Structure 1
Amino acid sequence: MSYFQTPFPYNSNSYLRTVRQVQGKMIIEGNGRLTVMPDQAIINIGVMTENNNVEIAQNENSKQSNQVIEALQQLGISSHDIQTLSYTIHPIYDFVEGKSIFKGYQVQHVFEITVFDLQKVGEVYEAAVSAGANMAGSLRFEVSNKDGYYQEALQLAMKNATEKAMKLGQQIGVTIHVPPTKITEESVSIAPKELSISFATETSLQASPPIQKREIEIEAKISAVFQY
C-alpha cells in the first residue's frame, strides 16, 4: 500500500478553471478469500508388475489394469473419469560388489480417477486394491466451479481494497474517489488439498478406509489505484 501527492504545476486561477487538478493517488492491495467444500476427488493409483521377460511383465500389467478398470466401473465410475496418467517400462538391476546385475523389467501403469461422489472415495481404494492395484499416489479434493468461486473472491478483494482506501483517506483527511482508476489482478493459484496415500504391494484392504473430505481455500488479490 502506498500513496503520494502530485504538486500543483500552476497557481493561476485560469488554469484551475480549465484543467481538472488531480491532487494525488494511493495504491492499495486488496485480498479476498473463500473457504468452500470440495465436490470431487482426484485419485492417483496404479499397477506395478515385474518379470525377467518384458512381454510377460506387460501382459500381467495389462491384465491387472483391466481388472482395476472393471472394478471401478462397477462402482459407477465412468470410463471418461479413468485416465492413464503414466505408463512406463524400465529395466531393474541388483548391485552386487559394485557390479550391476540385470534382474528383469518393471512395468508401471498409473491411473488418474475422478470421483464425484465423495462418499465413495474409500470404496474406490478398496475396489482398486482388491482388483490388483498395488501403487498409490496422491489424493486431492477439488471444486468443479473454480471460476465461479474465484470471481466471488475477486469481488471480496475489491471490497477489501476500497475499505482500506476509505479508512486511510479518513486518517489523512482527504476524500477518496471511487471507483479506482486502475485495477490490477495479482497472480494467485488455487491450491487443492492434497493427501498422500500409500500401502505395501502385498496389501489387501479388508474394508473401505474412512477418508474425510477437506475444505479448500480460494484466494484472490488485486492492486487498485485510487485518486483523491
Structure 2
Amino acid sequence: MTVIRPLLLAFALTGSTCLAAQAQSPFSSPDAPVRSVTVTGHGEASARPDLAYADFTVLRTGKTAREALDAANTGMAAVLEGMKAEGIEDRDLRTAGFSINPQYRYDQNQDGTQKPPELVGYEVRNSLTVRVRTVDKIGAILDKAVSLGANEGGSIRFDFTDPEDLRGEARRSAVADAKAAAEILAEAAGVQLGRVLDITTNVEQEPLPPVPMLRMAQSAAAPEVPVALGENTIDARVRIIFEIAP
C-alpha cells in the first residue's frame, strides 16, 4: 500500500492539471481542429445611373482611300463640333477606333470558276466614345450625332460617377444575409456562433444589355431619341466562416 498511494496521488494531480488546462482553452493543442460553419451571403443595391457612355461611328466609302478618308474626316469633325455644342468637354471625347479597309468585288466566270477579286473602293471607319455626365441629355446627344453624320451603330452604357456608397450598401446587405443564414444553421444544430474567422467578398456591377444606336437620322416627328435610364444594380457576395463557440 505504501507504494500504491504515491502513484494514485500523482495520477490525480496529472488529471486535474489536464482538466484545468482544457477549461482555460478548448483548443489548447495547435493540432486540434476548430469547429466552424461556412456560409455565403448575397446583397444588392440599385440606383439611377448618373453617367452614360455613347459610341458613334462615322462610316464613309470612296473609290480611293484618300476620298474615303476625306469624307470620314469631314463627317467626324462635324460630329465633334456638335458634341461640344451640346456641352460635352474635350476630356469626355475619345477616339475609340479607326480603320481603312479595301473593298473587293468577287465575281464568277460563266463556267462557275472564281474571277480574281476586283478592287472597287475603300471604306473608312472612325469611332468615337462620348462620356455624358448629364444623363438626361443622352437622347439629344444621340440625335445630334446621327444628324451630323454618325451612320453606324454603337451602344449606350450607363454607370455611376462614384459607386462606392452603393458598393458599401450591397456589402452590408450581403454580410447581413450571411449572418442570418449562419444563425439559422447554428440554432438548428443546437450550437452557438463564436467569432468570425474569415471573410471573402466579391462585388460586381450587374451588366446591362447595350442599347443599339440608330443607323439613320431621326425624322422631324421624333427630334430626340427616347431613352429610358432605369436603374443599375451592384451585386455583392460574401463567404464568412464563423467559429462554433465551445
Q: Structure 2 unaligned runs (5+)?
A: 1-15, 28-32, 109-113
Show the counterpart of 1:17: 23
Give 1 or 2: higher strand fraction.
Answer: 1
Per-residue deviation, residues 119-151 of structure 1 (Å, max 9, x unmatched): 211111111111111112111111122233112
Instruction: State the TM-score, normalizing by the size of structure 2.
Output: 0.81
- Partner of 1:42 in structure 2? 53
Q: Which residue number corresponds to residue 127 of structure 2?
A: 110
**Deviation per residue, 1:136-194 (Å, 9 max, x gap):** 2111111122233112211211111111111211111111114x1111123x4313423
Partner in structure 1 of residue 242 of structure 2: 226
Instruction: Select the residue among 195, 212, 216 that pairs with 2:210.
Output: 195
Q: Name structure 1 gaps, 5 residues minimum.
A: 1-10
**Equivalent pairs: percent with the same residue?**
23
The structure with the larger Rg is: 2
Name the TM-score, length of structure 1 as normaliser.
0.87
Task: Give the alignment of 1:1-228 within 5 angstroms.
Answer: 12-21=18-27, 24-97=35-108, 98-99=114-115, 100-178=117-195, 180-186=196-202, 188-200=203-215, 203-206=216-219, 207-228=223-244
Contact 1:40 1:144 in 2 (8 A): yes
2-structure distance, mates of 1:23, 1:137: 55
Q: Is the 8 A contact 2:146 2:214 kept in 1?
A: no
Give 3-state SS (helix, strand or coil) of 2:156's partner.
Answer: strand
Q: Please, what is the CA RMSD of the aligned residues?
A: 2.0
Q: Residue 204 of structure 2 aligns to a residue in which SS?
A: coil
- What amino acid maps onto 1:126 in structure 2? D
Instruction: Report how many residues are paired.
Output: 215
CA contact (8 A) 1:141 1:214 kept: no
Contact kept? 2:156, 2:213, Cα under 8 Å: no
For 1:194 and 1:40, the matched residues in 2 are separated by 16
Secondary structure of the 2:106 match is: strand
